[in-house]
Chains A and B, each alone.
Chain A
Amino acid sequence: MFSTHAPRTAATEVPDRFVLIFDAPDASTPGIAAAAREEEVPRLLGEQGYSISEYFPTLGIAVVTSKADQLEDFQARCAGHRLPPAVVPELIYRILPESTAPKDSYADTAQFTWGLQAVGADVSTLTGKGINVAVLDTGFDAAHPDFAGRTVTTKSFIQGEDASDGHGHGTHCIGTSCGPRTPKTGPGYGVASEANIFAGKVLGADGSGSDSTILAGINWALENKCEIISMSLGADVKTVHPPYVTAGRRSLELGSLIIAAAGNNAQRSAGNPGFVGAPANSPYIMAVAALDSQLAVADFSAQALGTEGGEVDIAGPGVNIYSSWPEAKGYNTISGTSMATPHVAGVAALLAQSSGLRAQELWDRLVADARDVSLPAKDAGAGLTQAPSTPES
Chain B
Amino acid sequence: MSSSDRQIYVITLADRVHPESIIGQLQSCGLEVKELLAALGQIIGQGSEQAAAQVRALDAVISVDAQRTYRALGDQ
Contact = CB atoms under 8 A, between A and B. Distances in A.
B74 A216 contact: no
A235 B69 contact: yes
B68 A237 contact: yes
B12 to A, nearest CB: 5
B1 interface: no
B68 to A, nearest CB: 6
Nearest to A207: B72
Contacts of A212: 8, 10, 34-35, 44, 67
A208 B42 contact: no
Contact of B76 (A207, A264, A278): A264
A218 B70 CA distance: 14
A37 interface: no
Nearest to A266: B76
B68 A246 contact: no
A169 interface: yes
Contacts of A338: 72-74
Interface in B25-76: 34-35, 37-42, 44, 62-63, 65, 67-76
A125 interface: no
A222 interface: yes
Contacts of A172: 74
Interface in A187-224: 203, 207-212, 214-216, 218-219, 222-223
Interface string A314-346: 000000000000000000001111110100000
Contacts of A138: 72
B65 A243 contact: yes
Given A210-B67, A215-B10, A216-B44, A232 B72 contact: yes
A384 B4 CA distance: 46
Given A243-B12, A246-B42, A264-B76, A216 B71 contact: no
A77 interface: no
A219 B69 contact: no
Contacts of A234: 70-71, 73
A295 interface: no
Interface of B: 8, 10, 12, 34-35, 37-42, 44, 62-63, 65, 67-76
Q: Which 6 A-B pairs have the closest CB atoms?
A: A336-B74, A338-B74, A334-B75, A338-B73, A222-B39, A219-B37
Interface of A: 137-138, 167, 169-170, 172, 203, 207-212, 214-216, 218-219, 222-223, 232-235, 237, 241-243, 246-247, 250-251, 254, 261, 263-264, 278-279, 298-300, 334-339, 341
